[in-house]
């Protein structure tokens, strides 16, 4: 027989490479192989956690609002204040009568149809005067608080930011104002005012109320300007106005808001006190302090004339103090 040539080393005739166990014709080309199935999302490993969207950072104000919404004290006080604002803006919506219309024939009479609070010593409807008196008290409280907050915050922030002589001068001025008794100062200053409007009372409260807010703002600014982000902005060449308005003020305003909210109720009570003493608002203005002063001589014969304006004043002051306490608890970093 003729000699058959031996196949190349490592191959078997009619078979593929050694150890594959399949014919050479059955070996598919790389481009003919089916594409790999896409990986199921469920088979993703722990590495996918790093690609998840990061949780949005929460700020002081968002955390405070979340806490306030869950605080029953804040909800109750807010509802009371909202009701007071509504009757202060539209008192005729729930009391259509004229608060200055009086009938001496009905003086000191008790409650009756259409007059649930009775009549005072001059025969005026107590219910109508109590509702209309909310406008004066809320106006004085809100305007005085805004004036005190703006003036005290500006002066305190400038003193705390620049320091030096300006800080020392402002500190001595605030000490002088703190030494003035509020009621005595009102008796002296308002007794020479002839205008029978709310603005002299508002101006007096702002004049004696700004030192408290100023000290709070000064301390908050001194604390905030020592933070690293303020020092970094200063190193980058930020101006004084940018540092104070952009970086320091937003982080120092929380204590001012808390003190101003609590002080609003105090200012309403101060207006009623000055009107009671006869140096604040005077008749024919409608104010809770005026009604309390007029009803005091008839407290035995007509206690209702004193009860309702006094109760309205107490509830209003309590509502603002409760609101301030709730805001303080929500904005206090230690509690957070």
Output the pLDDT for position 26. Answer: 43
Domain ranges of the chain: 61-331
Query: For residue 133, what pLDDT band results from cuts at 50, 70 and 90?
Result: very high
Q: Which of 132, 148, 173, 103 is nearest to 261 (CA)?
A: 148
pLDDT digits (tens, 9 = 90+) for 19-64: 444 444 444 444 445 555 454 444 444 444 444 445 555 676 788 8
Query: Cα 331 to the chain's mean position, in Å?
Result: 9
Furthest-apart CA atoms within the chain: distance in Å:
153
- Taking CA atoms, 160 is separated from 156, 231, 316, in Å, by 6, 15, 34
CB 141 within 8 Å of CB 265: yes
pLDDT digits (tens, 9 = 90+) for 279-313: 989 888 899 999 999 999 988 988 999 999 999 99
Output the pLDDT for position 18. Answer: 43
Please tell me which residue, 23 or 152, carries the higher pLDDT value.
152
- CA–CA dist 203, 296 (Å, integer): 28
- CA–CA dist 61, 65 (Å, integer): 6
Which SS3 state, helix, strand or coil, does residue 43 take?
A: helix
- CA–CA dist 295, 126 (Å, integer): 10
pLDDT digits (tens, 9 = 90+) for 235-276: 888 888 888 888 888 888 888 998 999 999 999 999 999 999
- CA–CA dist 203, 143 (Å, integer): 9
Beta strands in the chain (DSSP E): none
Overall average pLDDT of the 114-141 stretch:
92
Which SS3 state, helix, strand or coil, does residue 124 take?
A: strand
Query: For residue 336, what pLDDT band results from cuts at 50, 70 and 90?
Result: low
CB 221 within 8 Å of CB 252: yes
Taking the CA atoms of the chain, what radius of gyration do you get in angstroms?
Answer: 38
Q: Look over the chain and give the mean of its residue pLDDT values, rounded to a whole number.
A: 82
Q: Which CATH superfamily is domain 61-331 in?
A: MetI-like (1.10.3720.10)
CB 140 within 8 Å of CB 205: yes
Q: Which of 307, 311, 331 is nearest to 319 (CA)?
A: 311
């Amino acid at each position: 027989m003729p000699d058959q040539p031996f196949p190349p080393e490592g191959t078997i005739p009619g078979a593929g490479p050694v150890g594959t166990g399949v014919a050479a014709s059955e070996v598919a080309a790389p481009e003919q192989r089916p594409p790999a199935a896409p990986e199921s999302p469920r088979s993703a490993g722990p590495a996918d956690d790093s690609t998840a969207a990061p949780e949005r950072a929460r700020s002081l104000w968002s955390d405070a609002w979340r806490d306030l919404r869950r605080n029953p004290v804040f909800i109750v006080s807010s509802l009371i204040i909202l009701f007071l604002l509504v009757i202060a803006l539209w008192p005729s919506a729930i009391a259509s009568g004229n608060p200055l219309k009086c009938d001496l024939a009905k003086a000191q009479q008790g409650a009756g149809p259409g007059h649930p609070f009775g009549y005072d010593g001059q025969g005026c409807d107590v219910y109508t005067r109590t509702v209309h008196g909310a406008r004066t008290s809320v106006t004085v409280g809100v305007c005085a608080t805004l004036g005190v907050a703006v003036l005290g915050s500006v002066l305190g922030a400038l003193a705390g930011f620049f320091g030096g002589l300006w800080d020392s001068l402002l500190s001595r001025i605030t000490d002088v104002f703190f030494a003035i008794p509020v009621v005595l100062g009102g008796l002296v200053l308002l007794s020479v005012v002839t205008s029978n409007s709310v603005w002299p009372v508002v101006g007096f409260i702002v004049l004696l109320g700004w030192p408290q807010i100023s000290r709070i703002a000064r301390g908050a600014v001194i604390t905030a300007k020592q933070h690293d982000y303020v020092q970094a902005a200063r190193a980058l060449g930020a101006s004084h106005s940018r540092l104070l308005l952009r970086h320091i003020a937003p982080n120092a305003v929380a204590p001012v808001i808390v003190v101003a909210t609590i002080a609003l109720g105090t200012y309403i009570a101060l207006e009623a006190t000055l009107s009671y003493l006869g140096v604040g608002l005077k008749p024919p203005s409608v104010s809770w302090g005026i009604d309390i002063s007029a009803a005091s001589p008839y407290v035995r014969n007509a206690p209702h004339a004193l009860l309702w304006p006094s109760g309205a004043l107490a509830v209003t002051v309590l509502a603002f103090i409760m609101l301030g306490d709730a805001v303080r608890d929500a904005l206090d970093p230690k509690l957070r």
